[in-house]
Structure 1
Amino acid sequence: MVQHRPHTTVVLAMSADGKIADFRRSPARFGSRADKAHLEKQIAASDAVLFGAGTLRAYGTTLTVSQPILLQHRMQEGKPAQPIHIVITHSADLNPEIKFFQQPVKRWLLTTAAGAIFWQSRTLSLTGEMPTQNFPSKFEQILVFETRTGKIDILAALQHLAFIDITRLVVLGGGELVASMLELDLIDELWLTVCPLILGGTTAPTPVEGRGFLSQLAPRLELLEVRPVEQEVFLHYRLQRLSGLDYLK
């Protein structure tokens, strides 16, 4: 079934042994300048970026478009200088004092009904004012899409994004978010940068967390590009859409 949603690309850097952070879940700053430029290029080509609360807590910031040529391309395409930055979190337990909330980007919150109430109450406790259209509690929009079990309805959220003309979405992690989107077949492409270090650790996060997939039912990838740049390798994959009969072969 064709899903009316944005074209979705995951962009992550990982160690040679497939870890996106060390066992302490420290900010993953082991990518080179080339990797950062690659990430910025992917962000610049998007209408919105999506990342989990864990990723935001680790970094405290988001990557903005700063290269003049990328800003010029966005302007020529009639886009704002920065894509929308969307934080997805069930609890909305975020620190409103981190640098992210001072960056020059539009910030949206994708959460549950309970998460929205929690964030609004936190805003009230800090400012003494309830969020309004003119004072949006550090988020320009709070999107609530919830399943019957109280989880975030990611498919409904992405369909809403498509409805409001967000056609290209970049996902920046973490592994739990990527896993949940793969389970729902909501990923179209992956860019993985393999960096020249080994992190190890049974608890160190990987690009895809969650429960995992049985090998015969695992998402299959088509390799589109392999590009070595100095000591790193950039891998570009496309998700294969297989029918049930294909899985049985």
Structure 2
Amino acid sequence: MLDQLKPRPYMTAVLAMSADGKLADYTRSAGRFGSPQDQVHLEARVAEADLVLFGAGTLRAYGTTMSVHTPTLQAMRSAAGKPVQPIQMVCSASGDLDPDCHFFTQPIPRWLLTTTAGAKDWSAPQFDRVWAVDHVIDWQLVMAELAQAGITKIALLGGGKLVASCFAAGLVDEIWLTVCPLILGGPTSPTPVQSSGWLEAVAPRLRLMSATADRQRSFSPLRRQVIPRNSNI
């Protein structure tokens, strides 16, 4: 039993997709269709977080994670009493990760969220901390334990299955969504929320906070809308 439970961390999903709602093409290669401005925006969201959460598929596609490398953002974190780099947590039930990928040479704190079976091959120095569950990840319990560890803000970077799990658990508070000017198509191309789906009546609702656009993309932060029970919305 956790003593003196703290509020769960505030979770912001940061995603870029094609105009037809795809995170990547049908080969599931790294989606690199964002603009330089998208990278600036992504780094700013990462700099605000205590912990960056992403799935094993995202790590396999990119081989690295977004760290804070801009001096002004590093200084901002230091001034707030935070480490220069947020914790980078990989979520992989199987623990099937390439120990030779560049991620493990980045100067960042690394945590792994996995199962007992997936944790067998992992320890220091690859990961500073390994969080292992028996079989299925209980997201409410994970969030409670992260809160106890001092985590208050999480940046969720994908992929679609992980985002879907977090939505299903009611954990996503905001989405910062960039729509990029290309069409990828394909029934197997990953989407921002990769799941069997929700019926419209019970689908998670969002409220548009603002929207901006240029010739390269449109950018829209959205906040999760909590619908009261018995509401007709």
> For the superposition of Structure 1 and Structure 2, which TM-score range results when normalised by the shorter chain?
over 0.9
Structure 2 contact 51–155 (Cα < 8 Å) conserved: yes
Q: Determine if the alignment matches structure 1 residue 141 to structure 2 residue 137.
A: no
Q: Which runs of 4+ in 1 moved over 3 A?
A: none
Instruction: Give the alignment partner of residue 161 of structure 2, picking from 148, 173, 176.
Output: 176
| CA drift at 1:231 | 2.1
Instruction: Give the alignment partner of residue 195 of structure 2, picking from 193, 210, 222.
Output: 210
Residues 156-235 of structure 1: pairs in structure 2 closer than 5 A: 156-235=141-220
Structure 1 contact 187–239 (Cα < 8 Å) conserved: yes
Instruction: Give the alignment partner of residue 75 of structure 1, picking from 49, 74, 78.
Output: 78
Scaled by the length of structure 2, the TM-score of the pair is 0.95
Unmatched runs of 5 consecutive residues or more in structure 1:
121-130
Q: Once structures 1 and 2 are overlaid, which stretch shifts more, 93-102 or 236-245?
A: 236-245
Residues 1-249 of structure 1: pairs in structure 2 closer than 5 A: 4-117=7-120, 119-120=121-122, 131=123, 136-146=124-134, 150-246=135-231, 248=232
Measured in 1, the distance between the counterparts of 2:98 and 2:181 equals: 33
| CA drift at 1:145 | 3.3
Letter in 1 for 2:66: L
C-alpha change, 1:243 and 1:3, in structure 2 (3 Å) is farther
Letter in 2 for 1:97: D
Structure 2 contact 111–129 (Cα < 8 Å) conserved: yes
Unmatched runs of 5 consecutive residues or more in structure 2:
none
Measured in 2, the distance between the counterparts of 1:168 and 1:233 equals: 25
Count of paired positions: 229
Q: Deviations over 1:56-75 (max 9, x none)?
A: 00000001111111111011
Partner of 1:128: none
| CA drift at 1:98 | 0.3
Measured in 1, the distance between the counterparts of 2:67 and 2:216 equals: 25
Aligned-residue Cα RMSD (Å) equals 1.4
**What secondary structure does 1:37 align onto?**
helix
Measured in 2, the distance between the counterparts of 1:22 and 1:3 equals: 40
Structure number with higher helix proportion? 1
**What secondary structure does 1:116 align onto?**
coil
| CA drift at 1:178 | 0.6
Measured in 2, the distance between the counterparts of 1:46 and 1:61 equals: 17
**What secondary structure does 2:118 align onto?**
helix
Letter in 2 for 1:22: D
Structure 1 contact 15–199 (Cα < 8 Å) conserved: yes
Measured in 2, the distance between the counterparts of 1:162 and 1:228 equals: 35
Scaled by the length of structure 1, the TM-score of the pair is 0.89
Measured in 1, the distance between the counterparts of 2:94 and 2:6 equals: 27
Structure 1 contact 34–229 (Cα < 8 Å) conserved: no
**What secondary structure does 1:194 align onto?**
strand
| CA drift at 1:137 | 4.1
Letter in 1 for 2:127: F
| CA drift at 1:154 | 1.8
Measured in 2, the distance between the counterparts of 1:234 and 1:197 equals: 15
Q: Once structures 1 and 2 are overlaid, which stretch shifts more, 226-235 or 187-196?
A: 226-235
